């Protein structure tokens, strides 16, 4: 499956290789959420729980990361815990994935870089929390995540809880539309906003079953349309923080980022950490619940693709 030129650089964990060879469902998972999205030990617990949920659904999890210059498709529990504890991991997107491999570095892969790893290995379904997108104030900062370009070019289904509410959701949807990325809300007419089930934005497309999502993706491939697609799965009601409650915390975090002139890759981790503090950890509990919810749906989509 792996292109010849990449074979010497990539390690596919045995359970993942076996599942791919037997055409069993596999779900890719990102690792920036582990290295830069949550504190230790919650990051490690979250990653272990998410893998267990995927296994309970009958699929094989493949957490993707770069460890000592090896592009890993699937981590052992020990590798995962080591990654969760290290304070020195890079945050890797398309621009720096090969840098980390060539310099024998260690890093968490963002949505963009995880899509690249998944596609190299032949994995087409990927679960995460929230994608990167167009930041508030992007008209002056130009801060637009490389995740959006990756969704346009790499054929992987990304299951998320929408765009993080720290982003400008309107502008994020506009860019996705310009880049011809399908955005499918799962069982909802409105776009979810990560910690909240609803946003004021109507969903571009809606589907209500994993089978329908799998069929949509297959049809895109059959028509030669290429590229990925974004599934937006609302957080379960019992874990949500309503948008009007989150708005104040997000605005405060945003102001702090501007005051401290945070820029580039540091913006998303800074905002997430600040919001965690402002909400007394409540945002983290919701973040964990929504990733678990996305893992479950992703496993069902992966099963529908192979079934």
Write the CB contacts of 31 (distance below 8 Å, at least 6 apart in sequence): 47, 63, 64, 65, 75, 83, 107, 108, 109, 114
Tell whether residue 143 is a contact of Mn ion (CB under 5 A): yes
Q: How many CB atoms lie within 10 A of CB 147?
A: 29
Tell whether residue 30 is a contact of ligand PSU (CB under 6 A): yes
String of b and e for 268-279 (b: at least 16 CB within 10 Å)?
bbbbbbbbbebb
Give catalytic status of residue 171 as yes or no: no
Tell whether residue 33 is a contact of ligand PSU (CB under 6 A): yes
Nearer Cβ to Mn ion (70/171): 171
For residue 283, give the nearest of 246, 251, 235 by alpha carbon.
246
Residues 247-286 that bind ligand PSU (CB under 6 A): 265, 268, 272
Give catalytic status of residue 139 as yes or no: no
Strands (E) in the chain, as ranges, are: 10-12, 26-29, 60-67, 70-73, 90-92, 107-109, 125-127, 157-160, 183-186, 205-207, 229-232
Tell whether residue 147 is a contact of Mn ion (CB under 5 A): no
Fill in the per-residue mask, 94 to 133: x = in contact with Mn ion (CB under 5 A), - = not in contact.
----------------------------------------
Tell whether residue 130 is a contact of ligand PSU (CB under 6 A): yes
With CB atoms as reference, the residue minimizing the distance to ligand PSU is 37
Please select the residue that binds ligand PSU; options are 147, 168, 240, 292, rule is CB under 6 A. 147
Nearer Cβ to ligand PSU (231/303): 231
Tell whether residue 136 is a contact of ligand PSU (CB under 6 A): no
CA pair distance 173, 203, nearest whole angstrom: 9
Residues 164-203 that bind ligand PSU (CB under 6 A): 164
Scanning 17-25, 31-39, 65-73, 273-281 for contacts with ligand PSU by CB under 6 A, the matching segment is: 31-39
CA pair distance 147, 143, nearest whole angstrom: 12
Residues 233, 186: contact at Cβ < 8 Å?
yes
Q: Considering 91, 136, 164, 265, which one is annotated as catalytic? A: 164
Token pair for residue 285? 């509990």
Cis before 41 (ω within 30): yes
Q: What are the residue numbers of the active site? A: 30, 164
Where along the sequence are the contacts to Mn ion (CB under 5 A)?
143
Where along the sequence are the contacts to ligand PSU (CB under 6 A)?
30, 32-33, 36-37, 110-111, 129-132, 145-147, 164, 265, 268, 272, 287
């Amino acid at each position: 499956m792996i292109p010849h030129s990449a074979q010497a650089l990539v390690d596919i964990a045995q359970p993942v290789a076996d599942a791919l060879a037997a055409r069993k469902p596999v779900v890719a998972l990102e690792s920036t959420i582990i290295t830069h999205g949550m504190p230790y030990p919650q990051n490690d617990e979250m990653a272990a729980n998410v893998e267990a949920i995927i296994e309970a659904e009958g699929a094989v999890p493949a957490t993707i990361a770069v460890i000592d210059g090896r592009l890993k498709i699937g981590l052992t529990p020990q590798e995962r815990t080591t990654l969760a504890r290290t304070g020195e991991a890079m945050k890797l997107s398309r621009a720096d994935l090969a840098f980390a491999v060539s310099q024998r570095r260690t890093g968490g892969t963002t949505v963009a870089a995880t899509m690249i790893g998944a596609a190299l290995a032949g994995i087409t379904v990927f679960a995460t929390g929230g994608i990167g997108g167009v930041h508030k104030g992007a008209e002056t900062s130009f801060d637009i995540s490389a995740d959006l370009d990756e969704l346009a070019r790499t054929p992987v289904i990304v299951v998320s809880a929408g765009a993080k509410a720290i982003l400008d959701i309107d502008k994020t949807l506009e860019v996705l539309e310009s880049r011809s990325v399908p955005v499918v809300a799962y069982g909802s007419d409105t776009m979810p906003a990560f910690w909240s089930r609803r946003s004021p934005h109507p969903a571009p497309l809606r589907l209500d079953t994993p089978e329908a999502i799998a069929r949509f993706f297959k049809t895109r491939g059959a028509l030669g349309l290429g590229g990925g697609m974004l599934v937006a799965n609302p957080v379960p009601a019992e874990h949500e923080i309503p948008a009007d409650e989150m708005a104040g915390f997000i605005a405060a975090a945003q102001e702090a980022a501007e005051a401290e002139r945070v820029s580039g890759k540091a913006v998303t981790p800074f905002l997430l950490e600040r919001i965690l503090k402002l909400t007394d950890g409540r945002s983290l509990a919701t973040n964990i619940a929504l990733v678990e919810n996305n893992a479950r749906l992703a496993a069902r989509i992966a099963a529908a693709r192979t079934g």
